Amino acid sequence: MFTGELNLLSGRRSLIRIRTAAQSELIEIEREALISLVQTHSALSDIFLQAYILRRLELIARGIGDLILLGSSHSLDTFRIKEFLTRNYQPYSFVDLDREGDVQNLLDRFHVGIRYLPVLIYRRNVVLRNPNNEEITNCLGFNEGIDEEHVRDLIIVGAGPAGLAAVVYGASEGLDVLVVEGNAPGGQAGTSSKIENYLGFPTGISGQALAGNAYTQAQKFGAQLMIAKNARGLNCQRRPYILKFDRQEGLSARTIVIATGAQYRRLPVQNLSRFEGAGVYYGATHLESQMCGGEDVVVVGGGNSAGQAAVFMSQTARRVYMLVRSDTLAQTMSRYLIRRIEESPNITLLINTEITSLAGNDHLESVEWRNSKTREVEKRTITALFSMIGAVPNSAWLQGCVDCDAAGFIKTGSDLSIENLERAHWPLSRCPYLLETSLPGVFAVGDVRAGNVKRVASAVGEGSIAVSFVHQVLAE
């Protein structure tokens, strides 16, 4: 008999306790031995990994674990904590205080006042009052055991599809590699309900499942992941490079892969921030769809992500209003999605339309929009709005260390002209490799790179290609 769970691979604290029903002999296998076993013994690796993954999914589905979240489902912070735990594959049980009868009694049991909500209770005795993501990470020991002094072969910044691919290839090819992620693995793809054009998944795969599998795969090869840790700068004056964070600490590596992707543009509406997480969302996954079943929702944007969100939400919402600024979807969206939108009886496509205002108290209650051609204004009761209006690159943290185009996307390889390289003081006689930036040994992949094509497959491809050039740089 064997037991165990995904945390055995990551080396994090165990989520559950197991008790034998009869007198038993227990053989404990250390993490290093287990990792070496799953890397070398294919049949056992299949059995263990499948059992671990399925066990974790079951714990998540049944909310069994060491965390209880008390909060209101209308609260922005409750949503943030739920999203953070879900995207980090942490099982938790949720007590919705809007529905719970005896709220005060419940709060008294944990000695918390109503103003400290939401509250996260860990192992029945640690009470975190409206914790930020870093506090949750520290409490759960997500980043424990990561040696911060050690100089690594490769550090990857960002664990979206591009970063996850780089870490899987890097670790499987024997590099000493760490990935640093500001939030949770999966990146933008992790917010997609279903990716249908990624090779090998004819029935589609949710971004969350794709990221979860990639993350487990990376751990199988011994890679480490640091989460809820935003890189704030790169000390690029000397090598090894030092990745800088908020406080004094830094992480050193001989090569760096920048895979920090992009994030959605924000709607130019005055009180937007009041409703972010409380009616305005940037991803359309199972988590959001549960909150707006049977209601009217709005999706803004004309790209593939907006199309996917509209089709996905139409399965649970009463009506989906899809608002597009231009007068056609043809230039921005894949044909298969346009067809599905046209064929969905409860999706209303509104072209030439822009949001003019949002209203509500502590949650979004209504949305107003205007047709730019007819000037007609319409206001509707809407409790959920999905904003998907293009993206800006996450490259500002590099503070000019690498050459970027006018929009901030990082230039690489042959996109770097002789003048660009001279301005950046490129020190080598060779030209930058494919995907290499204006700093030797620093690569940029995926949506943060100038000229990227905004696809999961291309991000994954670039992440894997960069690793082959990392080997060359390390050998120089």
Ligand X SMILES: Cc1cc2nc3c(=O)[nH]c(=O)nc-3n(C[C@H](O)[C@H](O)[C@H](O)COP(=O)(O)OP(=O)(O)OC[C@H]3O[C@@H](n4cnc5c(N)ncnc54)[C@H](O)[C@@H]3O)c2cc1C
Amino acid code (one letter) for 13 = R
- Asked if residue 260 binds ligand X (CB under 6 A), the reply is yes
- Interacting positions 398-427 with ligand X (CB under 6 A): none
- Asked if residue 160 binds ligand X (CB under 6 A), the reply is yes
57: phi then psi, degrees, rounded to nearest 5: -60, -40
- Asked if residue 183 binds ligand X (CB under 6 A), the reply is yes
- Asked if residue 161 binds ligand X (CB under 6 A), the reply is yes
- Asked if residue 393 binds ligand X (CB under 6 A), the reply is no
- Asked if residue 437 binds ligand X (CB under 6 A), the reply is no
191, 206, 412, 437: which one binds ligand X (CB under 6 A)? 191
139, 455, 461, 471: which one binds ligand X (CB under 6 A)? 455
- Asked if residue 454 binds ligand X (CB under 6 A), the reply is yes
- Asked if residue 163 binds ligand X (CB under 6 A), the reply is yes
Task: Please tell me the distance from the alpha carbon of residue 85 to that of residue 278, in angstroms, as a whole number.
Answer: 17
Least Å from the CB of residue 210 to ligand X = 10
Least Å from the CB of residue 372 to ligand X = 25
131, 170, 283, 440: which one binds ligand X (CB under 6 A)? 283
Q: Return the CA Rg of the chain.
A: 24
Task: Please tell me the distance from the alpha carbon of residue 148 to that of residue 136, in angstroms, as a whole number.
Answer: 20
DSSP string, 179-200: EE-SS-TTGGGGG-S-B-SSTT
- Asked if residue 290 binds ligand X (CB under 6 A), the reply is no
Token pair 């799953």: residue: 38
> Any idea how long the chain is?
476
Task: Bin 58: left if φ > 0, else alpha if -120 < ψ < 50, else beta.
Answer: alpha
- Interacting positions 203-232 with ligand X (CB under 6 A): 230-231
- Asked if residue 381 binds ligand X (CB under 6 A), the reply is no
38, 59, 107, 157: which one binds ligand X (CB under 6 A)? 157
Measured from the CB atom, the residue of 230 and 356 that comes closer to ligand X is 230
Measured from the CB atom, the residue of 188 and 289 that comes closer to ligand X is 188
Are 223 and 194 in contact, with CB atoms under 8 Å apart? no
- Asked if residue 385 binds ligand X (CB under 6 A), the reply is no
208, 314, 394, 437: which one binds ligand X (CB under 6 A)? 394
**Coil, strand or helix at 467:** helix
Task: Please tell me the distance from the alpha carbon of residue 142 to that of residue 133, in angstroms, as a whole number.
Answer: 11
CB neighbour burial string for 450-461, b if at least 16 within 10 angstroms, e if fewer:
bebebbbebbbb
Q: Please count the residues of this chain forming the interface with ligand X, following the rule CB under 6 A.
A: 38
Query: For residue 412, how many other CB atoms are within 10 A of its CB?
Result: 28
Are 422 and 431 in contact, with CB atoms under 8 Å apart? no
471: phi then psi, degrees, rounded to nearest 5: -55, -45
**Coil, strand or helix at 160:** coil
Least Å from the CB of residue 445 to ligand X = 6
Least Å from the CB of residue 452 to ligand X = 7
SS (H, E, C) 273-325: HHHECCCEECCCCHHHHHHCCCCEEEEECCCHHHHHHHHHHCCCCCEEEEECC
65, 131, 158, 360: which one binds ligand X (CB under 6 A)? 158
Measured from the CB atom, the residue of 119 and 284 that comes closer to ligand X is 284
Task: Please tell me the distance from the alpha carbon of residue 303 to that of residue 307, in angstroms, as a whole number.
Answer: 6
Q: Which residues, in sequence order, are bridge partners of residue 183?
A: none
- Asked if residue 288 binds ligand X (CB under 6 A), the reply is no
195, 297, 341, 465: which one binds ligand X (CB under 6 A)? 195
192, 255, 412, 437: which one binds ligand X (CB under 6 A)? 192
Least Å from the CB of residue 4 to ligand X = 28
Q: Cα dihedral sign for 397, 88, 207, 313?
A: negative
- Asked if residue 236 binds ligand X (CB under 6 A), the reply is no
181, 288, 296, 436: which one binds ligand X (CB under 6 A)? 181
Catalog residues that contact ligand X under the rule CB under 6 A: 157-163, 180-183, 187-189, 191-192, 195-197, 230-231, 259-262, 283, 304-305, 308, 394, 397, 446-447, 454-457, 459
